[in-house]
Amino acid sequence: MITLPQLKALAKQNKIHYGNKNKDELVKLLIDNNIITASDAINSKITVNTVPKITVNTVKRNYDHLKGIRTNPKTVDVFDKETGKITIFPSKYKTGRTLGINSGLIEDGVTLKNCYVITVK
């Protein structure tokens, strides 16, 4: 027989809202939506793809690059090819806001809109 956590995982995988249902109601819901058959529910031939749990270390590793954005902003020099002027901005965010582009696109040596050459310090 399939366990309740396996049934909930199946419902979640198939984007079915199961709410506060017990095991019997959840099996009936999955059978009605043609996700499992009655014989599968009895014989327990269902495999559930498990999603890896997100740990604190994973979250820290994913967001380490964001730590220095507020505490250590990088100054950005923008050279305008048309006018020949160099404008210095205090951060990537302010550069993006002024030029009207996403600040994630601002990297060292990038040419934007064929007229701005960016140098990140």
pLDDT digits over 1-26, tens only?
Answer: 677 888 888 888 888 888 888 888 88
- In DSSP terms, 120 is beta-bridged to 76
Mean pLDDT (whole number) for 29-47? 76
The predicted model scores a pTM of 0.46
62-121 residue pLDDT tens = 666 666 666 788 899 999 999 999 999 999 889 989 999 888 888 888 888 889 999 998
Check if the beta carbon of residue 29 is closer than 8 Å to that of residue 18.
yes
Residue type, 31: I
Q: Chain-centre distance of CA 83, in angstroms?
A: 39
Q: Where are the domains of the chain?
A: 4-43, 72-120
Nearest to 18 by CA among 34, 3, 1, 4: 4
- Whole-number pLDDT of residue 65: 63
CA 38 – CA 31 distance, rounded (Å): 7
SS3 30: helix
| Position 36 pLDDT exceeds 80 | yes
